[in-house]
């Protein structure tokens, strides 16, 4: 039982990858206060968990009914992340109308603005996580899959809630720099998702 649980838990944890989500979460919630940041995290975790539970229980039927493939989900998720990554790359540029040295107040975000998309999906419950959940429920014990999923999401929440410490260490300037870096890496990851989706789709024809 323990071995079977680990064989389900480990790939699920790797594909959801909360450590990879942490920098994006850090950047997307940088203008929020601590209370709003925690609300964003709660909404994202609950939404991602419910979405993955739905696909674990009836994912194959949902995709078949909608005539949607995992490759289509992967390509769509990649396009969405690419748009976000590009906007992060250009974020923080100095507008021509702003005087030199003048600070521009950053626009406050509501938790709902980023909790469901892109944090809930496709960051936490992305095409990779959805496909893994569908495969595991088709080949393994469903209660073990659901238990593993709950544990992974709980661990993810505990990891992401410590983002406040990162904010304190790197400060505002560091967060802006991180925005650019993550925009570049996020765009590259998005392009790879699109390429993988197109490659898998073409090879399946």
Q: Is 103 inside a domain boundary?
A: no
- Total number of domains constituting the chain: 1
Of the segments 11-20, 50-59, 133-142, 178-187, which one has the largest average pLDDT value?
Answer: 50-59
Query: pLDDT tens across 3-23, in order?
Result: 888 888 988 888 888 887 888
Q: Is residue 47 one of the residues assigned to a domain?
A: yes
- Per the domain annotation, does 73 fall within a domain? yes
Domain membership flag for residue 128: yes
Three-class SS string for the chain?
Answer: CHHHHHHHHHHHHHHHCHHHHHHHHHHHCCCCCHHHHHHHHHHHHHHHHHHHHHHHHHHHHHHHHHCCCHHHHHHHHHHHHHHHHHHHHHCCCCCCCCCCCCCCCCCCCCHHHHHHHHHHHHHHCCHHHHHHHHHHHHHCCHHHHHHHHHHHHHHHHHHHCCHHHHHHHHHHHHHHHHHHHHHHHHHHHHHHHHHHHHHHHHHHC
Say if residue 93's pLDDT is above 50.
Answer: no
Which structural domain range is residue 9 located in?
A: 2-93+110-204
Confidence band for 91, pLDDT divided at 50, 70 and 90: low
Query: Residue 99: inside a domain, yes or no?
Result: no
Q: Which of 54, 24, 11 is nearest to 190 (CA)?
A: 24
Model-wide pTM > 0.85: no
The reply to whether 138 falls in a domain is yes
Confidence check: pLDDT of 97 > 60: no
Q: What is the DSSP string of 145-179?
A: HHHHHHHHHHHHHHHHTTHHHHHHHHHHHHHHHHH
Whether 102 is covered by a domain: the verdict is: no
> Quick one: tokens of 6?
């680990």
Token pair of 192, please?
């790879």
In a domain, 64, yes or no: yes
């Amino acid at each position: 039982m323990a071995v079977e649980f680990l064989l389900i838990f480990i790939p699920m944890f790797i594909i959801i990858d909360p450590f990879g989500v942490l920098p994006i979460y850090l950047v997307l919630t940088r203008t929020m206060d601590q209370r709003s940041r925690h609300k964003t995290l709660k909404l994202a975790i609950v939404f991602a968990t419910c979405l993955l539970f739905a696909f674990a229980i009836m994912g194959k039927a949902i995709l078949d009914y909608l005539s949607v493939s995992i490759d289509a989900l992967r390509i769509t998720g990649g396009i969405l992340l690419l748009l976000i990554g590009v906007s992060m790359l250009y974020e923080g540029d100095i507008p021509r109308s702003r005087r030199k040295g003048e600070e521009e107040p950053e626009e406050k975000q509501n938790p709902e603005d980023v909790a469901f998309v892109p944090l809930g999906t496709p960051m936490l419950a992305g095409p990779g996580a959805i496909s893994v959940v569908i495969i595991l429920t088709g080949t393994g014990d469903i209660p073990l899959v659901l238990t593993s999923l709950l544990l992974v999401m709980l661990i993810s929440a505990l990891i992401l809630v410590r983002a406040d410490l990162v904010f304190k260490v790197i400060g505002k300037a560091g967060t802006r720099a991180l925005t650019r870096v993550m925009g570049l890496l996020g765009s590259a990851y998005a392009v790879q998702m699109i390429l993988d989706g197109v490659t898998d789709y073409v090879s399946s024809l």
